[in-house]
């Protein structure tokens, strides 16, 4: 089965969930089994800084959220965390932060270089940098840069990211794509007033960019944000459909399986939500390396919760999947 056109994507997005569940979803799972040995990619996740200059209307870490306890974790503690990742037997780490212009860029280079010295696959997501800074990250050995385009619709992008510029975002993405670093990028699914036509455009852009990882989740409203007044959580069904479409279109791509379920209070730690994503072709689960008392402060979305290795092992057993040793 091939999915190549926007019309084919829209046909699946508009399909009844029952029909999708009996056809496309099963095919996507087969694609993952045949191309990736039915493996779960386990990655350590570390939010090292929750300070952000931007005013994104959907994000709990937006600069205008004055009720959030802010923090910057220093380079020595980040290196200790990377050592802990190595001791856990994990081989991948995702370093993520708000877009904090005052975080020392030399320390960012240092955390990348140290992770590489330890033999880790290092991903970084810290917002938009200059081309020279991306070049420095490339020289430091960074494996993957994570920069979501959020939505391919320029008007919607401008509305939800009023302090950012779509043209500059795509300029950064295009540079990363052309570098030795892999590009992780994707959309937010089910933003208020978003149409399925726009979701289809987003999927086509992910294919065009030949991304290494689709860090996608549905829109999950944060009470303190302006966008929360305009609509509730994005459709779980549309999210699962997008996962399966991406798996069929790009058999080797990594796709986030840390997905919510029916109970919003469970956040991204919802067992049924995670299993449903794994059964639809997703393959990526995370282990949160932040101290438990700090997890609540890295709140891009409400109830972000992610559990540890015990939960990953449980999900692997329940799903009948294998943990990747790569």
User: What's the pLDDT tens digit per position in 265-284?
Assistant: 888 989 999 999 999 999 99
Q: What is the pLDDT of residue 22?
A: 96
Which segments of the chain have a pLDDT < 70?
Answer: 301-303, 325-326
What is the phi/psi pair of residue 222, to 5°? Answer: -105, 125
Burial of 220 (0-12, 13-18, 19+ CB in 10 A): buried
d(CA 211, CA 213): 6
Q: What is the pLDDT of residue 302?
A: 63
Q: What is the pLDDT of residue 297?
A: 81
| Whether 311 contacts 76, CB under 8 Å | no
H helices of the chain, where? 6-13, 17-22, 24-36, 75-88, 105-117, 131-139, 154-160, 166-178, 196-209, 236-249, 271-279, 309-319
Tokens of 40: 């779960």
CB-side neighbour CA atoms (13 Å) of 16: 3
Q: What is the pLDDT of residue 127?
A: 97
Q: What is the pLDDT of residue 325?
A: 56
Domains and CATH numbers, the chain: 6-321 (3.20.20.70)
Burial of 30 (0-12, 13-18, 19+ CB in 10 A): middle
| Whether 299 contacts 58, CB under 8 Å | no
d(CA 231, CA 122): 35
Which helix (DSSP H) or strand (DSSP E) does residue 41 occupy? strand 39-49
Opening angle at CA 142, ends 204 and 323, nearest 5: 70
End-to-end CA distance of the chain: 28
Average pLDDT, the chain: 95
Calculate the alpha carbon distances from 288 to 41, 84, 136, 247, 267 in Å. 14, 12, 27, 25, 14
pTM score = 0.96
């Amino acid at each position: 089965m091939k999915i190549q056109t926007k019309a084919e994507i829209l046909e699946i997005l508009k399909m009844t969930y029952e029909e999708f569940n009996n056809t496309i979803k099963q095919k996507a799972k087969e694609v993952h089994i045949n191309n990736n040995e039915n493996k779960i990619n386990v990655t350590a996740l570390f939010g090292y800084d929750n300070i952000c200059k931007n005013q994104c209307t959907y994000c709990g870490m937006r600069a205008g959220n004055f009720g959030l306890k802010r923090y910057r974790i220093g380079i020595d503690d980040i290196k200790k965390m990377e050592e802990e990742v190595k001791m856990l037997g994990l081989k991948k780490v995702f370093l993520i932060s708000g877009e904090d212009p005052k975080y020392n860029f030399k320390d960012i280079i240092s955390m990348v270089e140290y992770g590489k010295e330890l033999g880790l696959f290092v991903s970084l997501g810290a917002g938009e940098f200059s081309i020279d800074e991306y070049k420095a990250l490339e020289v430091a050995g960074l494996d993957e840069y994570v920069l979501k385009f959020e939505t391919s619709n320029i008007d919607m992008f401008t509305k939800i990211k009023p302090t950012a510029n779509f043209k500059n975002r795509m300029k950064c993405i295009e540079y990363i794509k052309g570098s030795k670093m892999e590009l992780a990028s994707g959309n937010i699914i089910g933003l208020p007033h978003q149409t399925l036509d726009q979701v289809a455009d987003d999927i086509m852009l992910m294919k065009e960019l030949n991304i290494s990882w689709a860090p996608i989740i549905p829109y999950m409203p944060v009470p303190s944000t302006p966008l929360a007044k305009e609509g509730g959580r994005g459709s779980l069904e549309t999210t699962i459909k997008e996962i399966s479409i991406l798996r069929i279109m790009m058999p080797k791509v990594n796709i986030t399986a840390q997905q919510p379920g029916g109970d919003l209070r469970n956040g991204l730690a919802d067992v049924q939500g995670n299993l449903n994503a794994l059964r639809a072709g997703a393959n990526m689960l995370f282990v949160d390396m932040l101290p438990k008392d700090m997890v609540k402060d890295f709140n891009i979305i409400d109830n972000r919760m992610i559990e540890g290795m015990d939960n990953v092992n449980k999900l692997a057993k329940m799903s009948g999947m294998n943990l990747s040793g790569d």
